[in-house]
Amino acid sequence: MTKHLTRDMTDIERHILEIGALVETSIQKAIASLASMRPELAREVIDLDQVIDSMEVDIEEECLKLLALHQPVATDLRFIVASIKVNSTLERMGDLACNIARASIRLSETSSGGRPELTSLAEQVRLMVGESLKALVNMDADLARVVIARDDVIDEGNARIIDELTRNLIANPRNSVQNIELMMASRHLERIADQATNIAEDVVFMVEGEIIRHQHIKLEIVDD
């Protein structure tokens, strides 16, 4: 590996970690705004999204330039390809945090009080995001697999919340706007967990060169 390639890859890694930290902050603020009905936090999330979007474009350009200039192979190529994917995933997580923030603002205009039915799910998602980024920082494939295993728990929690809110919607049609907003917020949380899982899968790919996405589908085919 040339000195220039080493320097440029180090820069990409640093920038990925910077955007990751911003996205984590955005998600935390979005969750806090939803739980405590604080629209000012939600507006901070929306403002921060512009910074995240700009960084995502810059990092992608860095990665593409690196591919063109150095034509990396093997481990170096794997790192750059995974970095492009992680960068895009982080930007999508920022968008989902914005969706939660907007839902929080709308809810604050129509109701008061927190959202206890989402508190547990939101905390689990927050921890999952933090651990996926920790796995990325430390290139820890074992921790990444722990994150991946937790995705099913989030899916089940989201399904329970949707079922409960659907029953509330039928029983209390006058609260339909609130119930629908809460459904959407729960769905956005579940999608953030999906994106955290994608990052964890990319960490395994970076470290071990193994593509583990959709392995459950392969297992089902074998079992049949």
Domain range summary for the chain, segments of one domain joined by +: 3-223
Topology of domain 3-223 in CATH is: Methane Monooxygenase Hydroxylase; Chain G, domain 1 (1.20.58)
**Secondary structure (H, E, C), 128-175:** HHHHHHHHHHHCCHHHHHHHHHHHHHHHHHHHHHHHHHHHHHHHCHHH
Using the CB atoms, write b or e for 6-22: b if 16+ within 10 Å.
eebbeebeebbeebbeb
220 Cβ contact partners less than 8 Å away, ≥ 6 residues apart: none
Q: pLDDT digit string (tens) for 159-215?
A: 999 999 999 889 888 878 888 889 999 999 999 999 999 999 999 988 888 777 766
What's the pTM value of the predicted model, to 2 decimals?
0.86
Q: What is the per-residue pLDDT across 2-42, written as a single tens digit (0 to 9) for each?
A: 787 888 888 998 999 999 999 999 999 999 998 888 899 99
